[in-house]
Structure 1
Amino acid sequence: MTIQIANRIVCYPDPSPLQAAIAGASGLIRELTAVLEREAGALYENAMPADLLEVKAGLIAAHARALERLRATPIAHELTLDELRMLDELKALDAALMTAALDSLIAADPGVIELRFRRAGMLVRQGRDEEAHRDYLAVLDKDAAHFDALNDFGNLLFDTGYRSAARTLFSQAVDTHPHRPAGYVNLANLLLSQADYDAAKSFYQTALILDSTLAEAHRGMSYALSELGDEAAASAHREPGFRGHAVMTWPHRGPGRALPLLVLSSAIGGNIPFKHLLDERTFLSSVILSEYFDPETPLPPHRLIINIVSDADLCRQGLDAAERLLAKSPAPVINSPQLIRPTGRLDNARRLGVLPGVIVPRSALIPRAELVSDTAQDLLADQDIGFPLLLRSPGFHTGRHFVRVDAPEGLAAAAGALPGAALLVMQALDARNSRGDHHKYRVMFVNGALYPLHLAFSNNWKVHYFSSAMEDQPEYRALEAAFLNDMPSVLGSKAMTALNSICQTLGLDYGGIDFALGDDGDILLFEANATMVVYRPENDEKWTYRRAAVERILDAVRAMVIERALCA
C-alpha cells in the first residue's frame, strides 16, 4: 500500500520502522526550516533576484530529501489507524514548517511570485484559506496568466462554495493556456456540478483531444454523457477513467488529528455530492468507486463508512458492489445500501402514498414502445393516469429527460424523444398559487431531524431553485425567509406530521423531501430520497437570509459523522 506525501510516493513499513522514519523525517524538516529561518537574511543580502527561483528549487529539493527516509523500508503490513494519524500529523507539520520557511524567504523579497504561489499551497493544506486567497491574488496580480495559480485557486474557491469566482478563474486558464488539458477538465468539472452537461461534455472532449489518456477527463465525460442519455458512449469512457483509479482522497486540511472516513461511490453516477458536506479540517476521506475496487485489496483505514450511492433507480450495480465492500468492515455505516434500495420512485409511491397527509402522484413504469403505440391510451386508463401527465427517464435528476404532456396527441412524440427502454409515467400534481406560479419546498433530514433548505417559485412546472423566480422576486424571498425561520408555523401541523412520517418510513440517515403544500395542508410529494443536494448560497447580500438554514444542515451532518465515527 502507498500514500502520496508532498508529491512523493511513500511505502508503509512495519510499525516500529515507520515511527522511526516519521521521527527522522520530522527532525530533518525541522533542521531545514531552522537553517532557512536563521540564514534567510544573509542569504538574500547576497542573492540577486534572478537567483530566487534557484533558491526555491533548492528548498523543495531539500524538503523532498527530508521525506526520502519514508521510502526505504519494504511493505510488510497494511496501514493502521495510528499510523495513518502519524502520517497525517507529519504532513501538517511539514506544511507548517514549510510555511514558516517560505515566510522568511518572502520577507526578504516579497516580489517573488513563485514563492508566494508555493506558500499559498502550504496555507491551503493547513486550512488557512483567507491567507491563501491573499497569496493567490498577489500571484495573479503579477502574472494574470499563471496557470497553476488559476487552477489551484479555482479549485479552492470551488471546494469552498464560490462557484462563480471559480468559473472565472478556470475560464481564464483555458483562454490563456489553450493547449493544457487540466484547465479544460477543471472547468468541465465545475459545469458538470452545475448540471450544464452539454458544455461540460465539450470541455472534456477538448481535454481528451489534447491528452487521450487523461483518466479524470474520461471519468467526467462518462458522467456528462450518462446525464445526456447516451449510455453507450458513457460506458466507453468508464474503463479508461476508472480502471486503476478506483480510490481517491478528499484530504484533511488543518491542525489536529483527522477522523478517517471511507466513502463508497458509484462510477455510474447517482452519488450524493457529499464532499462539501464534510469539513476538511476534521475529516480525511478515502473515496472508493465501488464497481472498480479490487475486492482482494484491503480497505483504506477508516472509523466510519458513508455510502453516497443514492439513486436506487440508476445504481443497482453500484449498490451491490458497495454492499460487498461493507462485508469487509465492522465499521458503522451512514445510509446503508439496504436503506437506499427501496427509495426508487415507484417503491416510494407505494410506501409513502399510504401515509396520512401525503399525496403521491399515480405512477407506473411503462415500456417506451407501448407509449408510442396505438394502445397507449388504453394502457394509461388501466393505470388510472390521465392528462396532464409527466414522463421521466429513470435515473436522471435536475429536470433532465423529464417532460410534461398536456394532451393525448403529444404523448407519442414526447415518449419517443426520451432515452431508456421504459419510462416513468406520473400523474401531474397541481402546485400553482393564485398568480399561477408553481412552488416547491425542500426539507432535509439528518439523523432523524427535519431541516428546511429552500422554497422556490417558478412560472415553469419544473421548479428548480437555480432557474426559479427567486432572484427577481423579493416577495417570494420574503416567503422563503419565513419558511426557513419557522417551518412548523408556515407548513402547519398536518404537513409537519406527514414529513416526519416520510422521514421515519425511509429510515435514511441523510436525505431530503421535495414537495408542494396542498390547499388543505397535505404534502404533494414530488420526491424523497438521498440524492438531494445542499449548496451554500452565492456570495450575494440578497441571499443572506438563507445562510443560517444551510449552515444548520451542514452542522448537523458534521455532528452526525463525528458522533458515529467516535462511537465506533
Structure 2
Amino acid sequence: MHPAPLPVAEACLSLPDFLARLADLIEAQDAQGALALLTGEPELARQHPVAANSLGYLLLQAERPGEAEPWFRAALALKPDYAAAFAGLGMAMIGTGATTAALPMFEKAVTLNPEDASSWYHRGALLADRGQAALAEMSLEQALRLNPDYHLALLKKGHLYEAAGRFNEAVQLSARALQLAPDDAACWTLFGDIMQKLGRLDQAIEAYDQGLSLSAGDFYCLCNKAQALEKQGHGPQALALARQALAKRPDNIDALLLTGNLERDHGDRQAARACFLKAASQGPARHYRAISGEASVKALMLFAPFAGNTPYEDLVEGANFDADLLIALPEARYDTAGIGEDADVVVNLVSDLDLSSDVLASVEVLAESFGRPIINHPARIFGTDRASIARRLQDVSHAVMPMTRRIEAAELKEAAESLALPVILRHAGTHGGDRMELLDTADAVKAFAEEAADASLYLTDYVDYASADGFFRKYRWVFVGEEILPYHLAIGDGWKVHHAATRMKDEAWMRDEELDFLNNPGRYFSADAMAALDEIRRRIGLDYFGIDCGLDRQGRVVVFEVNASMLVHERNFGFEYKNPHVRRIKQAFEGLLRRKAGMED
C-alpha cells in the first residue's frame, strides 16, 4: 500500500506564487492569514522587500515591535530607498522605546515620500516629545494638509497648543478630534487637560470620566483627573487615582512624581520618598527642549521635593534653551558624569531656607559635583530666611525694612503683653499670605500662638504703606543677574494684597495702572527707589530672585519679602498685557544662563 500523497507544503511555493498569495490575503484583509504565511516562509519573505516589509507591519499590528524591527531592516537591505520600511522601522523603534533613534527614520521616510501623512504625524509627535514645538507643529500641519481627518495629528497639535497657552485654538482642535473619534479616550483627555488649564475643573473631571468610561483605567485620564481633584481639594480621591495609575505603570516618571507629591502632601513621607527615590534613580525626571530645536545653552536644574523650590516650569516652557530636571535627595546616588556631561550650567532651585535647611548641604555637594558654573549657589541660600534678610537690609538707603524675628509659638505667648502692636505674624515656610495675620491686641497674639501649637513663627513690625488714595499697592520685581525687571502691580483695599484676590479684574483703572507701571516703572519708582533696589540686589547676591515691596508716602521702598521662591508665569487670564513683560524676564533668564556658562550673550 502506498501512502497518500502529502499536501503541497508552503515551502514548495515559488517566490511569485508566494507573493501572489500574500497579495490575495492582504486584499482580503486577512491579517492573520498573511502573518501565518509570512512567518511560515521566512526565507521567502527575506527575498522580497514587500514581503519583509509586510511582515514587519503585521508584527506591529500584533504588538510585537521587537520582532518587527529586523524585518524592516531586511526590507531596507533589499531596497534602500523604501519609504514605507523606514516609517515601519521608526514605529518599531517607538514600540521598543528607542524614540531617539526613531526620529531619523521618519525624517528619511518623509524625504522619500512627502505625501505620507502618517510619517509626518510620527515625525511631529517625536519632535513634540523632544520639546521642539515649532518644528513639531510644522510637521503635524503637513500631516493634516494631506489628511484633514487625521485625528491623532489633531490631538498632538492640540496638546502643543494647550502647552503653549493657545487655548482657543486647542479647544477647536479638541472639538474636531472628538467629532472624528468620540470613542477615543485620548480625545477626552485632551479636552480635560485644556479645561484644567483654564481652571474649569468640573468640566475637566467630566471629560476624564468620559474617557474612563470608554477605557477603564486609562493611564492619562487617571493621572490628570487626580491632578484636577487635588486642585479641588479632594486629596484622598486624588491620591487613590494616582496610586491606581502608578500600579499600571510602576516605573513611569509622571506617575511616580504625581504620587510622590500627593503622598507627601497628605502625610506619608515614607511612601513619598520611595516614589521620589525611584524617579531619581532613572536620571533626570524631566527633559525640556528649546522651542526652536537649537538650544542656546543647556541647564541642569536641581529640584528637592521635600524643600521649597524656585518655580521653574514657566521659565523653561517655550524657552530657547534645553533643561533637564534632576530630583535631588540626600540618599540618592547619581552618575554625575553621565548626567551632567552635556550641561553648560547647573541651576539650584532649592530656595526657601525655612523648608530646605536640612537638604541644602547635600544639594550643594551635588551641585558642585558636576563641575559646572552654578546659578543661585546653595551656599548663598543660607542667610535668605526672613529674619536674616531683615538684618541684612536694615540700613539700605531710601528703603524701609520692617524688623523681623523668628520666634517659637510658646515663646510668643509669653511675650505677647510686651509687644509693640500691631504686628504681623506668620508661620515659617509659608507664602502667599497663608497663615499670616495682622494683630493689634495681646489677646489676639496669644490666640494665634495657641493655635500655632509648636510651630515656628515670624514676628514682623507692621509698616503702613497705604497710598494717598487709601489703596495698598504691592509691586513685584524680578532680579536677573544685574537686571531689575517689573513683574506686576497688585492694588488692594487692605494691607494683605495678592494679585489674584484683588478687584483688579473688575476695575479697569487698576489694570491701566498696572500696565503703566510695567511699561513705565520710572514713573512710580524714583531714582532713589531704584538705587535702593539695586543695593538690595547687591547685598542678597543671588543670580535670580524676586522682591515684593510697596512704596510709602515718602516714596521709600517698603520691603515685604525677598527670595528666589517667587512665581513668574504667563497664565494671566484677563491680564494678558503682563505677558510681554514675563517673556522679557524669561529672555533675561536665558541670557543669565549663557553668561554664567561663559557664552556670549
Work out whether the TM-score is over 0.5. yes
Map of 1:45-84 to 2, 5 A cutoff? 62-66=89-93
Stretch deviating more after TM superposition (507-516 or 394-403): 394-403
Alignment of 1:508-519 (within 5 A): 508-519=542-553
Indicate whether 1:398 and 2:437 are aligned: no
**Counterparts of 1:207 and 1:563, CA distance in 2:** 41
- Contact 1:150-1:172 at 8 Å conserved across structures: no
- The reply to whether residue 525 of structure 1 matches residue 559 of structure 2 is yes
For 1:88 and 1:458, locate their aligned partners in 2 and report how far apart those are by CA, in whole Å.
54
Is residue 204 of structure 1 aligned with residue 242 of structure 2?
Answer: no
Matches within 5 A, 1:80-159: 90=104, 93=107, 99-100=119-120, 110-114=148-152, 116-117=154-155, 135-143=173-181, 146-151=184-189
TM-superposed CA distance for 1:164, in Å, is 1.0
2:164, 2:437 → 1: CA distance?
47
Contact residue 33 and residue 100 of structure 1 kept, 8 A? no
| TM-score (structure 2 length as normaliser) | 0.70
1:416 is aligned to 450
1:100: Cα distance to partner? 2.0
**Alpha-carbon separation, structure 2, partners of 1:364 and 1:476:** 34
Pairing 1:227-376 to 2, within 5 Å after superposition: 233-246=267-280, 247-252=284-289, 254=291, 256-258=293-295, 259-280=297-318, 282-291=320-329, 293-295=332-334, 298=337, 299-301=339-341, 302-372=343-413, 375-376=414-415
- One-letter amino acid of the structure 1 residue matched with residue 380 of structure 2: L
Partner of 1:561: 593
Match of 1:35? 83
Distance in 1, matches of 2:452 and 2:81, equals: 62
User: Per-residue deviation at 1:152?
Assistant: 5.0
After TM superposition, give the deviation of residue 272 of structure 1 in Å. Answer: 1.2
1:186 and 2:221 aligned: no
Structure 1 counterpart of 2:530: 496
The alignment partner of 1:245 has SS state of helix
**Cα distance in 1 between the residues matched to 2:368 and 2:108:** 36
In 2 relative to 1, CA 187–309 (structure 1 residues): closer, same or farther, beyond 3 Å? farther
**C-alpha displacement at 1:344, in angstroms?**
0.8
Does structure 2 retain, via aligned residues, the 8 Å contact 1:390–1:405? Answer: yes
Cα separation, 2, equivalents of 1:130 and 1:96: 30
May I ask how many residue pairs the two structures share in their alignment? 491
The alpha carbon displacement at 1:439 in A equals 2.1
Distance in 2 of aligned mates of 1:320 and 1:91? 45
Q: Do 2:572 and 2:579's aligned partners in 1 also have CA atoms closer than 8 Å?
A: no
How far apart are 1:264 and its partner, in Å?
A: 0.5
Go from structure 1 to structure 2 and tell me whether the alpha carbon gap of 1:551 and 1:392 turns closer, same or farther (over 3 Å shift).
same
2:512 and 2:167 mapped to 1: Cα distance? 33
Instruction: Name the CA shift for 1:483/1:110 in 2 (closer, same or farther; >3 Å).
Output: closer
Q: Deviations over 1:37-90 (max 9, x none)?
A: xxxxxxxxxxxxxxxxxxxxx99864243579997xxxxxxxxxxxx9x97985
**Which of structures 1 and 2 has the larger relative contact order (alpha carbons within 8 angstroms, sep 6+)?**
1
Counterpart among 527, 550, 561 of residue 582 in structure 2? 550
The verdict on how the C-alpha distance between 1:241 and 1:406 changes in structure 2, with shifts beyond 3 A counting, is farther
Q: Deviation digits for residues 415-456 of structure 1, max 9, x if unmatched?
A: 232375321111222122345432211111111111111111
Counterpart CA distance in 1 for 2:467 and 2:166 is: 47
- Residue identity matched to 1:35: A
**Counterpart of 1:208 in structure 2: which amino acid?**
R
For 1:299-350, what per-residue CA distance to the aligned partner results, in whole angstroms no more than 9, with x for missing partners?
3431111111111121113322211112212211111112222111011010
Shift of 1:96: 7.8
Q: Which moved more, 1:140-149 or 1:487-496?
A: 140-149
Superposition RMSD on alpha carbons, in Å?
4.3
Judging changes above 3 Å, is the alpha-carbon distance between structure 1 residues 421 and 170 closer, same or farther for their aligned structure 2 residues?
same
Q: Write the letter of the residue equivalent to 1:274.
A: Y
Moved more, 408-417 or 119-128: 119-128
| C-alpha deviation, 1:254, in angstroms | 4.8
Q: Which runs of 5+ in 2 are unaligned?
A: 1-63, 112-117, 123-139
Alignment check: 8 A CA contact 2:155 2:190 kept? no
C-alpha offsets along residues 115-146 of structure 1, whole Å, 9 cap, x if unaligned? Answer: 64467679999999999876544213334674
Change (3 A) 1:185 1:288: same
3-state SS of paired residue (1:313): helix
The verdict on how the C-alpha distance between 1:189 and 1:127 changes in structure 2, with shifts beyond 3 A counting, is closer
Q: Deviations over 1:165-197 (max 9, x none)?
A: 6857743433324555643543554787xxx58
Distance 1:9 1:529 in 2: 50
Q: Which has the higher mean CA deviation after the structures are superposed, 170-179 or 450-459?
A: 170-179
Relative distance call for 1:198 and 1:432 in structure 2 (3 A) is farther
Does the CA contact (< 8 Å) of 2:465 and 2:551 recur in 1? yes
Larger Rg: 2
Deviation for aligned residue 1:199? 4.6
Q: Equivalent residue of 2:358, what SS?
A: helix
Contact 1:170 1:183 in 2 (8 A): no
| Per-residue deviation, 1:261 | 1.9
Quick check: 1:96–1:122 contact (8 Å CA) kept in 2?
Answer: no
Distance 2:430 2:229 in 1: 17
